[in-house]
Structure 1
Amino acid sequence: MLAGVTLFAIAPLRNPLPVAAVARTLPGSATIPGKAPVVPWPATGQAALSVEGVGSLGTSGGSEPVPIASVTKVMTAYLILTEHPLKRGEHGPKLTVSAAQAAAYPGELARGESLVPVVAGAVFTQRQALQAVLLPSANNMARILAAWDAGSIDAFVAKMNATAEKLGMKDTRYTDPSGLDPGTVSTAVDQVILARKAMRLPAFAEIAAQKKATLPVAGEVKNYNSLVGRDGVVGIKTGSTDEAGGCLVFAAVVKVGGRKVTIVGAVLGQPGANTPVQLDRVFKATRPLVRTATAALTAHPVVRTGDQVATVTGPLGTGTTIHAGKDLTVVGWPGMRVRLDVEIPAIPARLPAQTEHGQLTAVTDGGGAPVTAALHSGERLEPPSNWERIRQHR
């Protein structure tokens, strides 16, 4: 008996237990089943379509920088709201129209610009000024806001270009805050980058979704974007000039598997003899894009609760499994690949059954936001008994 006790005490020192081995059993990726969507790209111009937190559905029309008309005002409004943030419903500071700004109005009107009427001394809140810029696309109010923010239009344009560079809009160059100048150029891809950022600003998203607003001097004005309120569209900005054609940067919010998902896109360069025709054509090109993205989106469980992720092999035949503690569901479209990453910390000598241990992460191949689920142990893991160890080493 004493010899047995001595062997029992010494054996662990002479023969330390090996560390438990973990073998992954889950594939490294999965594919959402079904036929990949066919996007009805416009026959002319540029377009880009993406889903926030999911990925890109693609682009068309190349990547040559082109005039973007009043889509420019997305950057104007974004920059104003990042420099002077507003909460939802908040009006912010007041702007007073100067005599020089009011005196410029008749000449601007004679040139056929998109404007809101102003008079010297008229007072606009920051919110009202942004409504004038984003809804009836007022060039004069874009210039008034630019001077109010930066002291001069040139200084504001410099800030616009610096912001574009910071956001990674490598094919964009701004020459004015309104987009009237055809020297202001960009691409559909760059405008989607900006639109995604802008729609994260609560006040921007709130204003862009309005169908109308009441302004000083002008009274009631309407949103040029007639798609707002249809097919889930919640904004964001139209544009139209002879050089740019019909342009639209848009966002739509749809529900997928009980979760709100934002579709963001841009269509540039739609032809037409005048603004009404150009805008009509850009709206007709946009609606199929929104509907295709909406129809393609699905909530797909790539891993189900209880699915085995890994096996754990301990010493002397001990072991357990690691499995998903809940469904891991991603939002995407058929044909989209999903990368599955597994993180399992070192396995302790004792691991109770159904204990949270590790994490499973799914990321769509479009660079979407990661989705995670906790991992759980299966059967209880315990080290072999002393007697089992003694028997093993006899």
Structure 2
Amino acid sequence: MSLRRPAAVIALCCSLAWAALVATRIADRPASTTAGHPEHTLSDVTVPWPAHGQAALAVDGRGDLGASGGSRPVPIASLAKMMTAYLVLADHPLGGDERGFTVTFQDQDVLDWKLRNGGDQSLVRVEAGEVMDERQLLEALLLPSANNIAIVLAVHEAGSVTAFVRRMNDTADRLGMKDTTYTDPSGLDAGTVSTAPDQLRLVRTALRDATFADIVSMPSTSLPVVGEVENTNPLLRLPGFLGVKTGSDDAAGGCLAFAAVRRVGGRQVTVLGVVLGQRDGPLLAAAARAARPLAEAGFRAAETPGSR
């Protein structure tokens, strides 16, 4: 059983209630595109779209509030791991305190970690003979965003990375993510590309799984060999933000899929959004700076009668 700090326990309790909220489907409406314009007014709500990169925003019960930055597919870095986790949980659902399947790490897994360790990658150190259960593997995938764990899960699920990537693309097609192409399970390959509206569609779908919603809201967790690891999501330090996934590298810039919950007009409102390609300073900080005003705009939309 993973050891969690008190803050993580509080987040777990909050996320269980949150998962029930986001399980209600947000109406699927075509996103309006405002390429080249930093702001776009929808009804009485002005959405402060990022000046660069892409973004998409939706509010539970109001539908999509639009998108910015055009529709050209761009690298998404570790946002690709949302699809990896979604497929694992589709094959092996977890409920309550269930731990799921186990994986025993082999010499080749250790070699893969060592070969990757010299580069600029997010990794989790593994040892031969180490055992992780499904929940721990998903935590390692989604919190510290371990590329090597994405490979382990892909091979476990499909027998090879190639076969798993084929499943990722088949699932993207089924979900209507028409501008998305996966070339690897981690997003390290710059050939893994998508758009903000497509990734928002995946966020909306993946968050219906309570286990996924639980894990992405955890500030930290404890893994067998490395011990305590932190969630890379800077927004989790702020009230109301409960995930979802970060991504950053030179090709993709700063990317962030986010969810936030607040009481508006006496009811709980969930705002979902995605920002891609943020490069104003440190990449994850830039993505977080772009996401926060979008979340606020979503809450304003929820309290504005004229907004859809």
Instruction: Name the TM tier (shorter chain).
Output: 0.7 to 0.9
Q: 1:101 aligns with which of 109, 118, 122?
A: 109
Aligned partner of 2:39 in structure 1 is none
SS in 2 for 1:203: helix
Using the alignment, how far apart are the partners of 1:255 and 1:82 within structure 2?
Answer: 31
Using the alignment, how far apart are the partners of 2:261 and 2:158 within structure 1?
Answer: 34
TM-score (norm 1): 0.66
Note the alpha carbon deviations across 1:280-316, whole angstroms, 9 max, x for none. 1111111111112113312xxxxxxxxxxxxxxxxxx
Look up the equivalent residue of 1:171 and give its one-letter code: D
Aligned partner of 1:283 in structure 2 is 288
Task: Say if 2:62 is the partner of 1:54.
Answer: yes
Aligned partner of 1:293 in structure 2 is 298
Aligned partner of 1:157 in structure 2 is 165
Q: 2:223 aligns with which of 183, 193, 215?
A: 215
1:171, distance to aligned residue in structure 2 (A): 0.1
SS in 2 for 1:74: helix
Greater share of residues in strand: 1
SS in 2 for 1:58: strand
Q: 1:91 aligns with which of 92, 99, 102?
A: 99
1:35, distance to aligned residue in structure 2 (A): 6.5
Using the alignment, how far apart are the partners of 1:91 and 1:259 within structure 2?
Answer: 33
Q: How does 1:1-394 map to 2 (within 5 A)?
A: 36-271=44-279, 277-298=282-303, 333-336=304-307
Look up the equivalent residue of 1:198 and give its one-letter code: A
Aligned partner of 1:349 in structure 2 is none
1:335, distance to aligned residue in structure 2 (A): 2.3
1:272, distance to aligned residue in structure 2 (A): 5.1
Determine if contact 1:235/1:250 at 8 Å carries over to the other structure. Answer: yes
Look up the equivalent residue of 1:161 and give its one-letter code: N
Using the alignment, how far apart are the partners of 1:335 and 1:284 within structure 2?
Answer: 27
1:254, distance to aligned residue in structure 2 (A): 1.8
Look up the equivalent residue of 2:131 and give its one-letter code: V
**1:35 to 1:57, Cα distance in 2 relative to 1, 3 A:** closer
Determine if contact 1:35/1:334 at 8 Å carries over to the other structure. Answer: no
Which structure is higher in RCO with an 8 Å CA cutoff and minimum separation 6? 2
Identity fraction in percent: 53
1:204, distance to aligned residue in structure 2 (A): 0.1
Q: What runs of 5+ residues in structure 2 fail to find an aligned partner? A: 1-41
Using the alignment, how far apart are the partners of 1:167 and 1:91 within structure 2?
Answer: 27
Using the alignment, how far apart are the partners of 1:231 and 1:168 within structure 2?
Answer: 32
**1:154 to 1:174, Cα distance in 2 relative to 1, 3 A:** same
Using the alignment, how far apart are the partners of 1:112 and 1:221 within structure 2?
Answer: 17
SS in 2 for 1:90: coil
1:75, distance to aligned residue in structure 2 (A): 0.4
Look up the equivalent residue of 2:98 and give its one-letter code: E
Determine if contact 1:172/1:185 at 8 Å carries over to the other structure. Answer: yes
Using the alignment, how far apart are the partners of 2:239 and 2:49 within structure 1?
Answer: 18
Using the alignment, how far apart are the partners of 1:256 and 1:79 within structure 2?
Answer: 33
Greater share of residues in helix: 2
User: RMSD of aligned C-alpha atoms?
Assistant: 1.5
TM-score (norm 2): 0.84
1:80, distance to aligned residue in structure 2 (A): 0.6
Note the alpha carbon deviations across 1:300-333, whole angstroms, 9 max, x for none. xxxxxxxxxxxxxxxxxxxxxxxxxxxxxxxxx3
Note the alpha carbon deviations across 1:141-174, whole angstroms, 9 max, x for none. 0110111111111111010000000000000000
Which one is further off, 250-259 or 68-77?
A: 250-259
Aligned partner of 1:360 in structure 2 is none
1:112, distance to aligned residue in structure 2 (A): 2.0
**1:198 to 1:127, Cα distance in 2 relative to 1, 3 A:** same
Using the alignment, how far apart are the partners of 1:114 and 1:54 within structure 2?
Answer: 36
SS in 1 for 2:182: coil
